[in-house]
């Protein structure tokens, strides 16, 4: 991972709130991957494989509430983190994580995160209000306007997918 990519990740609200030493401990266990358009990083029902971040590009978190219906729950852009819900609760993945266009991502593997947390419990401490921030992140289902925390504003078609509606043509 390049120094510029580390700096980009540190601009995320959650990750940027961690002390630099904790950021370094986490990023040092990461595995960077270049992935192609439409690559599936993980799928609905998969066991948690760790925490993910987008170094370049875009990842969409997609669920399927009914047969033939695709719901884009979150669009994660450069600098954004995702996958924390299954890391926190240990449950299966609730959605597919699909690259939209070529991307560079980093994965902090679950076993490494668990090992690091056991050896260095302070890595899991997020400071005052941090638990609420993590809970809001895990519960938040759509990005806002702009580039806050790697979330990007969807266009009309993307917005229609988020609410499960189609556009009349």
Q: Does the residue 35 lie in any domain? A: yes
Can you give the CATH number for the domain in which 88 is found?
2.60.120.10
pLDDT band of residue 125 (cuts 50, 70, 90) is low
- The residue segments making up the domain with residue 14 are 3-162
- Interatomic CA distance for residues 44 and 47, integer angstroms: 9
Q: What single string gives the DSSP state of each residue in 30-51?
A: -EEEEE-TT-EEE-TTPPP-EE
pLDDT tens per residue across span 88-110? 888 999 999 999 999 999 999 99
pLDDT band of residue 124 (cuts 50, 70, 90) is low
- Interatomic CA distance for residues 160 and 103, integer angstroms: 24
Q: Is the pLDDT of residue 2 over 50?
A: yes
How much is the pTM?
Answer: 0.74
pLDDT band of residue 126 (cuts 50, 70, 90) is low
- Pick the range with the lowest mean pLDDT from 54-58, 99-103, 125-129, 151-155: 151-155
Q: Does the residue 143 lie in any domain? A: yes
pLDDT band of residue 87 (cuts 50, 70, 90) is confident
**Residue 153: its pLDDT value, please?**
43
- Give the pLDDT mean for 152-159: 45
- Domain total for the chain? 1
Q: What single string gives the DSSP state of each residue in 86-131?
A: HHHH-PPPSSEEEESSSEEEEEEEHHHHHHHHHH-GGGG---TTHH
Q: Does the residue 167 lie in any domain? A: no
Query: Within a 10 A sphere around the Cβ of 51, how many other Cβ atoms?
Result: 23
Q: Does the residue 169 lie in any domain? A: no
Largest distance between two CA atoms of the chain: 56
């Amino acid at each position: 991972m390049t120094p510029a990519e580390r700096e980009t990740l540190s601009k995320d609200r959650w990750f940027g709130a961690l002390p630099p030493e904790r950021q370094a401990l986490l990023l040092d266990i990461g595995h960077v991957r270049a992935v192609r358009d439409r690559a599936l990083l993980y799928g609905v029902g998969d066991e948690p494989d760790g925490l993910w971040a987008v170094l370049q590009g875009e990842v969409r978190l997609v669920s399927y509430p009914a047969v033939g219906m695709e719901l884009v729950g979150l669009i994660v852009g450069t600098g954004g983190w995702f996958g924390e819900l299954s890391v926190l609760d240990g449950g299966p993945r609730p959605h597919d994580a699909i690259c939209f266009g070529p991307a560079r991502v980093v994965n902090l593997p679950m076993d490494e995160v668990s090992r690091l947390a056991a050896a260095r419990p302070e890595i899991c401490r997020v400071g005052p209000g941090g638990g609420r921030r993590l809970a809001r992140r895990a519960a938040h289902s759509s990005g806002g306007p702009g580039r806050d925390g790697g979330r990007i504003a969807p266009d009309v078609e993307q917005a229609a997918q988020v609410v499960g509606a189609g556009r009349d043509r």
